Amino acid sequence: MYHISILATHQDEDDFGERLGDIADVAYCPVTNEEEMAERLEDCDVLVCRDEPVTESLLDQLDELKLIVVLRSRVDHVDLQAAARRGVKVLCNPVYCVDDIADHTCAMMLALLRQIPEYQNDIRNNSRWEYGAVGWPLHRVGSNLIGLIGYGRTGRAVAARMQAFGCKIQAYDPFVDEKIMMEERVRPVDFDKLLRTSDVVSLHIPLNETTRYIFREEQFEEMKEGAIFVNCSRGGLADEAALYHAVDDGHIRSAALDVLSMEHPSPMMLKMMTRPEFLLTPSVASHSVEGEQALFHEAERQIRLFLAGHEEELSFVPYL
Q: Alpha helices of the chain — where are they, by DSSP H?
A: 16-19, 34-40, 56-59, 80-85, 98-113, 116-126, 153-163, 178-183, 191-197, 217-222, 240-248, 267-273, 289-307
Q: What is the pLDDT of residue 141?
A: 98
Q: What is the CA radius of gyration of the chain?
A: 23
Same domain, yes or no: 111 and 59: no
Residue 9: pLDDT band by 50, 70, 90 thresholds?
Answer: low
Q: Residue 51 phi/psi, 5° resolution?
A: -120, 15
* Exposed / middle / buried, residue 140 (Cβ in 10 Å: 0-12, 13-18, 19+): exposed
Same domain, yes or no: 185 and 308: no
Question: Looking at the predicted structure, is the pLDDT value of residue 130 above 80?
Answer: yes
Q: What is the mean pLDDT of the chain?
A: 94
**Is 257 among the domain residues?**
yes
Q: What is the pLDDT of residue 16?
A: 87
Residue 36's identity, in one-letter code, is E
Q: What is the pLDDT of residue 138?
A: 94
Same domain, yes or no: 25 and 105: no
For residues 32 and 53, the answer to whether their CB atoms sit within 8 Å is no
Give the CATH number, domain containing residue 11: 3.40.50.720
Same domain, yes or no: 85 and 117: no
pLDDT, tens only, 248-283: 999 999 999 999 998 777 888 999 999 999 999 999
pLDDT, tens only, 161-174: 999 999 999 999 99
**Is 320 among the domain residues?**
no
Q: Determine the structural domain holding residue 306 and report its residue range.
A: 2-96+289-313
Question: Looking at the predicted structure, is the pLDDT value of residue 240 above 80?
Answer: yes
How far is the C-alpha of 168 from the C-alpha of 185, rounded, in Å? Answer: 8
Q: Give the pLDDT mean for 278-301.
A: 95
How far is the C-alpha of 150 from the C-alpha of 204, rounded, in Å? Answer: 5
* Exposed / middle / buried, residue 42 (Cβ in 10 Å: 0-12, 13-18, 19+): middle
For residues 2 and 25, the answer to whether their CB atoms sit within 8 Å is yes
Residue 12: pLDDT band by 50, 70, 90 thresholds?
Answer: low
How far is the C-alpha of 316 from the C-alpha of 155, rounded, in Å? Answer: 23
Question: Looking at the predicted structure, is the pLDDT value of residue 114 above 90?
Answer: yes
Partners of residue 4 on adjacent β-strands: 26, 46
Q: What is the pLDDT of residue 265?
A: 75
Same domain, yes or no: 167 and 225: yes
Integer angstrom CA distances of residue 87 from 53, 62, 92, 304: 18, 12, 17, 19
pLDDT, tens only, 77-88: 999 999 999 999
**Is 128 among the domain residues?**
yes
Same domain, yes or no: 200 and 165: yes
**Is 21 among the domain residues?**
yes
Same domain, yes or no: 161 and 264: yes
Question: Looking at the predicted structure, is the pLDDT value of residue 125 above 60?
Answer: yes
Contacts 24+ apart (CB under 8 A), 215-219: 215/239, 215/242, 215/243, 216/242, 217/242, 217/245, 217/246, 219/195
DSSP-derived 3-state class of residue 14:
coil
Question: For 181-185, 265-269, 281-285, 287-291, which range has the lowest pLDDT when averaged over its residues?
Answer: 265-269
For residues 4 and 49, the answer to whether their CB atoms sit within 8 Å is no
**Is 318 among the domain residues?**
no
Q: What is the pLDDT of residue 11?
A: 59
Q: Residue 150 phi/psi, 5° resolution?
A: 105, 130
Same domain, yes or no: 179 and 265: yes
Question: Looking at the predicted structure, is the pLDDT value of residue 108 above 70?
Answer: yes
Same domain, yes or no: 136 and 222: yes
Same domain, yes or no: 200 and 303: no
- Number of independent structural domains in the chain: 2
Q: What is the pLDDT of residue 14?
A: 61
CB-based contacts of 98, cutoff 8 Å, min separation 6 = 73, 153, 154, 157
Same domain, yes or no: 213 and 123: yes
Partners of residue 170 on adjacent β-strands: 147, 187
Q: What is the pLDDT of residue 264?
A: 74
Question: Looking at the predicted structure, is the pLDDT value of residue 1 above 90?
Answer: no
